[in-house]
């Protein structure tokens, strides 16, 4: 790590995001937390902490966030796309997109795209880490269904579909950002005792909450992917407990030919 290394963590004020933030601060990074509640992030600990307001589901908010960072820093070394959401009922952002997709998928693309010039300036050391989920194993990617969000709203299925899309987007980034010296990986934290899990899956949280891993345990793989010298330059993959995992466990979740590119093109169009 460079002595002046800089990391950006979205959704870094609570749960796994807060644990990632504290771990990076403890390693000497300047950490820029982007979140909807900046006041909550300011008490995360000593060190070089900067806090900015950010709503990843709003492209305008993302652009303003990136511009404020670029006004102070000429590069960033690490981006952790941690911000995520799941909603019990259908919600949409100001542009009309289903809000789980707008947060978990479009948000990841928008933040990475906006910060790409600063990651490129890390001289071949730029890393993007997406905080994913094993829920991706449940469904294949269908970009048109994510964009239309019609039919019955089943929040668990919507969440799983967005996590499949997030992984496929990370793989697309691994291919497309490689020439800029930027890696992209996806980290599964496991089902962790966090406020987000309690809100999104209340029944499961009540039943299993006492035995779930801590946010610090859930953050470990993402922090390792963001910082470990032994994997410098390694790109792509779905990782859990510092080990690369299969992308699929059943054949019918494998993406159809061209589907990953369709997702990329859709995200690119939505950011215009």
Bridge-partner residues for 78, per DSSP?
7, 127
Specify the pLDDT at position 269: 96
Whether the predicted pLDDT of 192 surpasses 60: no
Mean predicted confidence (pLDDT) in 31-55: 92
pTM score, whole prediction = 0.93
Contact between 195 and 171 (Cβ < 8 Å): no
DSSP classification of residue 103: I
Six token digits for residue 132: 């994913």
Q: For 100-128, b where at least 16 C-beta lie within 10 A, e where not — what string?
A: bbbbbbbbbbbbbbbbbebbbbbeebbbb
pLDDT at 163 over 80: yes
Q: What is the pLDDT of residue 199?
A: 59
Q: Tokens in use for 55?
A: 């709503």
Locate all alpha helices (DSSP H) within the chain, ordered by sequence: 15-26, 38-41, 59-72, 99-101, 107-120, 143-148, 155-176, 195-200, 202-208, 215-227, 259-270
8 Å CB contact between 271 and 110 = yes
Distance between CA 260 and CA 167 in Å, rounded? 10
* Average pLDDT value for residue range 15-38: 95
Q: Give the SS3 label for residue 212.
A: coil
Instruction: Give me 22's structure tokens.
Output: 């504290």
Catalytic member of 29, 109, 137, 159: 159
- Mean pLDDT over 182-206 rounds to 71
- State the pairing for strand pair 238-240/243-245: antiparallel
- Return the pLDDT at 193: 53
Residue 194's pLDDT is what? 55
Question: Would you say residue 53 has pLDDT above 70?
Answer: yes
For position 13, what pLDDT does the model report? Answer: 93
Identify the pLDDT of residue 47: 78
Stretch 66-89: mean pLDDT, rounded?
97
Q: Is 159 among the catalytic positions?
A: yes
- Tell me: pLDDT of 108 over 70: yes
What pLDDT score was predicted for residue 112? 98
């Amino acid at each position: 790590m460079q002595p002046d290394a800089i990391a950006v963590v979205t959704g870094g004020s609570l749960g796994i995001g807060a644990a990632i933030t504290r771990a990076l601060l403890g390693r000497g990074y300047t950490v820029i937390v982007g979140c909807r509640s900046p006041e909550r992030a300011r008490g995360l600990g000593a060190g070089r902490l900067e806090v900015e307001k950010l709503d990843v589901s709003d492209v305008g908010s993302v652009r303003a966030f990136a511009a404020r960072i670029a006004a102070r820093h000429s590069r960033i070394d690490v981006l952790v796309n941690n911000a995520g959401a799941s909603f019990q009922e259908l919600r949409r952002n100001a542009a009309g997109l289903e809000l789980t997709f707008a947060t978990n998928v479009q948000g990841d693309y928008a933040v990475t795209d906006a910060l790409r010039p600063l990651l490129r300036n890390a001289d071949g050391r730029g890393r993007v880490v997406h905080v994913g989920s094993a829920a991706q194993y449940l469904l294949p990617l269908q970009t048109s269904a994510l964009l239309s969000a019609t039919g019955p709203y089943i929040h668990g299925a919507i969440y799983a579909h967005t996590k499949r899309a997030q992984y496929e987007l990370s793989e697309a980034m691994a291919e497309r950002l490689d020439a800029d010296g930027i890696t992209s990986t996806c980290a599964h934290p496991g089902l962790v005792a966090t406020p987000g899990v309690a809100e999104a899956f209340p029944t499961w949280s009540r039943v299993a909450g006492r035995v779930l891993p801590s946010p610090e345990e859930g953050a470990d793989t993402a922090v390792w992917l963001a910082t470990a010298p032994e994997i410098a330059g390694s790109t792509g993959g779905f990782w859990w407990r510092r080990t690369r995992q299969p992308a699929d466990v059943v054949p019918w979740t494998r993406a159809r030919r061209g589907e990953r590119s369709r997702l990329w093109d859709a995200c690119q169009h939505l950011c215009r």
